[in-house]
Structure 1
Amino acid sequence: MDLKNIDLNLLIVFQQLFRDRQVTKAAESLDLSQPAVSSALNRMRKLLGDELFYRSCSGMQPTPYAEQLAEPISEALAMIQQTLIRRSTFDPATSSRRFTIAMTDIGEIYFLPFLIGSIAKIAPGVTISTVRNSKVNLKEEMAEGKVDLAIGLLPDLKSDFYQRRLFRQSYCCLFRKGHPLDGKPFGFEEFANAEHVVVISAGTGHGKTDELMENSAIRRNVRLRVPHFVALPYILKETNLIATVPDKIAERLASSFPLSYVPHPITLPEIQINIFWHTKHHQEEGSKWLRTLIFDLFSE
């Protein structure tokens, strides 16, 4: 028999009839009409090729085949119900779930310290994994539930996705404290004459901003290119290089390293940072909890 021909509601009716042994009582238990239960029973008889229940002076009695089916059907329905309950409820205080968030290394620097600190207090069993936005097929991975949320500037995530703005950020120039430019006027000329370190971030909002500067009339004296932001503060604090970075990451790095930052002399477009999730998981309680927590911690 092909399972596609089996309506789950028929199994529920079967289970209730097996318990109650009366069509009328089963109908009341299921909040259905008596004809609806009788119709469901007739459909099951045709599908399974068995009478299933026969009338007796003590009510509807199961056939041997119905006796054989009763326990497996009951176990299967209980398993489905428990699975749905586990899916629909989420208790952060007791959960041991692992969430996966797609973000850049900038995102890891900015979001993770505060996010993990908050989770440790309210959801001590919950763990977080991160993946790079540019290293996975986000549409597919998020649709399949392999990636729960994504954070960043992600213009490709439109149809089939929800998004919510966390904040907008502009750009500034970051360099070490005591740099020859530290505490002095910083304009186009100083920017052009300085030695720069550039982070190659293809496919990200920062990468697009870097392309704009490359195409501008102001030339940069680029002495170093690196693939990640993680090394940036260590490089800057030991050299006279300067870097163009988002203002929020500059604030975060300057609070932990001997670095200073100034407004960028070039007018660059602001970057909007959003949190994204797939429509399939819009009502999933764990996803709702995590994205609400992130929004409460970081939104402006």
Structure 2
Amino acid sequence: MGVKNLEQLTLGDLQFLMALERAGGITKAGETMNLSPSTASRTLKRIREILGDSCFLNVKDGLVATEYFFKIKPVIQDILERMQGLNPEGFSPEKCRRCFRISSMMAEVSRIIGGIVPTFLQQAPFASIHLAHHDNEFEQVLSGNVDFAILTRVGLPPDIHYLDLYPIERVVLFRKGHPLSKLGRPLKTYDLQMYDRASISTGRHNHWAGPDQSIFPFEKFRERTRLTTTRFNVVWEALEKTDLISICGYRAAEIAVKANDLEFLPLPSEIAEPNIWNSLIWGERAHQDEGCIWLRKIFAEWGQADTKRVQKLVNSQGYRH
């Protein structure tokens, strides 16, 4: 436990600690920073874990600061005063040296991050992005451990904010020279029912019926699934060497065909796709953060442009890659 652990806290965390001292209660402090009671509680829990001290003790009339808080209070005040002096006019991308933390394990995330990085670096040449995967991404964004997560927008908690990036257009991925590629006509559902599958798992429970259930309605759950993994390259290598097929998003398939000797085709037209989007999500802290607001605009602009790009390809008849 020491002052050096303050380096792991965000400016919002430091402001929240000062708000706690002034308000004397979690709910009141959260209100001053536009945080819901649950978000404020999670924020304090995370701060306590990082600093190794409760910082505030519960008493009859609210919260009282610990000796440790009074020890670090001058340091917190100094940091906040210096930051205000460095940037009195608010967030400035060209001066930003912040590392934005993003969590995702989607295969398509490389397409998304690769799409926004040029604009990101052009506008904020000293800032950076740290992309990783964390378990329970909802909890990660709500607690403030990450600024954003990128995932399929299903089953979101009520206090999660989100930005839809693009609707999911799914395709059938298989090796070059696969019998499906030689049909010379659009795929039919019975064509796919002849082949076993490889599946990429995200670790989340699906809240919607995917195309697998429509294609294989009479089989036992995953009876025809011969390979399940969270590693995308494992599936792609397996497809390249077998007659397995895999159903994935259009952008994931674009990445796969560049990495392996694969190709893809549209799902059969009789398979109804649900209206599901891949989205950027964030918690209340990031919702108020000026840097995160700026970065969301970059994601929004990329999402609009890439949606048009893919929709044009999907609408073209008989596309193949």
The number of equivalent residue pairs is: 230
Equivalent AA in structure 2 for residue 247 of structure 1: Y
Residue deviations 1:153-191, cap 9 Å, x none? Answer: 244434333222211113211112221221414222221
Give 1:194-273 correspondences, 5 Å limit. 194-203=195-204, 205=206, 209=210, 212=213, 216-217=217-218, 221-265=224-268, 266-273=271-278
- Does residue 170 of structure 2 align to residue 171 of structure 1? yes
Which range moved further: 81-90 or 257-266? 81-90
CA distance in 1, matches of 2:238, 2:175: 9
The structure with the largest alpha-carbon Rg is 1
Question: What SS does the corresponding residue of 1:174 show, helix, strand or coil?
Answer: strand
Give 1:75-90 correspondences, 5 Å limit. 80-84=80-84, 89-90=90-91
8 A Cα contact 1:197 1:222, kept in partner? yes
Q: CA deviation at 1:278?
A: 1.9
Unmatched 5+ residue regions in structure 2? Answer: 1-20, 25-73, 308-321
Q: 1:200 to 1:159 in 2, by over 3 A?
A: closer
Q: TM-score if structure 2 supplies the norm length?
A: 0.60
8 A Cα contact 2:193 2:215, kept in partner? no
Q: CA deviation at 1:142?
A: 2.3
Matched with 1:58 is none
Q: 1:251 to 1:205 in 2, by over 3 A?
A: farther
CA distance in 1, matches of 2:126, 2:137: 28
Q: 1:128 to 1:154 in 2, by over 3 A?
A: same
Equivalent AA in structure 1 for residue 285 of structure 2: K
Q: CA deviation at 1:253?
A: 2.6
Q: CA deviation at 1:91?
A: 2.8
CA distance in 1, matches of 2:301, 2:272: 30
Matched with 1:279 is 284
Residue deviations 1:239-291, cap 9 Å, x none? Answer: 32211111232233335543221122343424212222223332321101111
Residue deviations 1:181-222, cap 9 Å, x none? Answer: 214142222211123212233316599527735872367633
Q: 1:201 to 1:209 in 2, by over 3 A?
A: farther
Equivalent AA in structure 1 for residue 138 of structure 2: L
Question: What SS does the corresponding residue of 1:182 show, helix, strand or coil?
Answer: helix
8 A Cα contact 1:153 1:204, kept in partner? no
Give 1:1-300 correspondences, 5 Å limit. 4=22, 80-84=80-84, 89-132=90-133, 135-136=135-136, 138-139=138-139, 141-184=140-183, 185=185, 186-203=187-204, 205=206, 209=210, 212=213, 216-217=217-218, 221-265=224-268, 266-299=271-304, 300=307
8 A Cα contact 1:198 1:224, kept in partner? yes
Q: 1:206 to 1:160 in 2, by over 3 A?
A: closer
Unmatched 5+ residue regions in structure 1? Answer: 7-73
- The sequence identity of aligned pairs, in percent, is 21
8 A Cα contact 2:103 2:133, kept in partner? yes
8 A Cα contact 1:197 1:241, kept in partner? yes
Question: What SS does the corresponding residue of 1:201 show, helix, strand or coil?
Answer: coil
Equivalent AA in structure 2 for residue 289 of structure 1: W
Q: CA deviation at 1:292?
A: 1.0
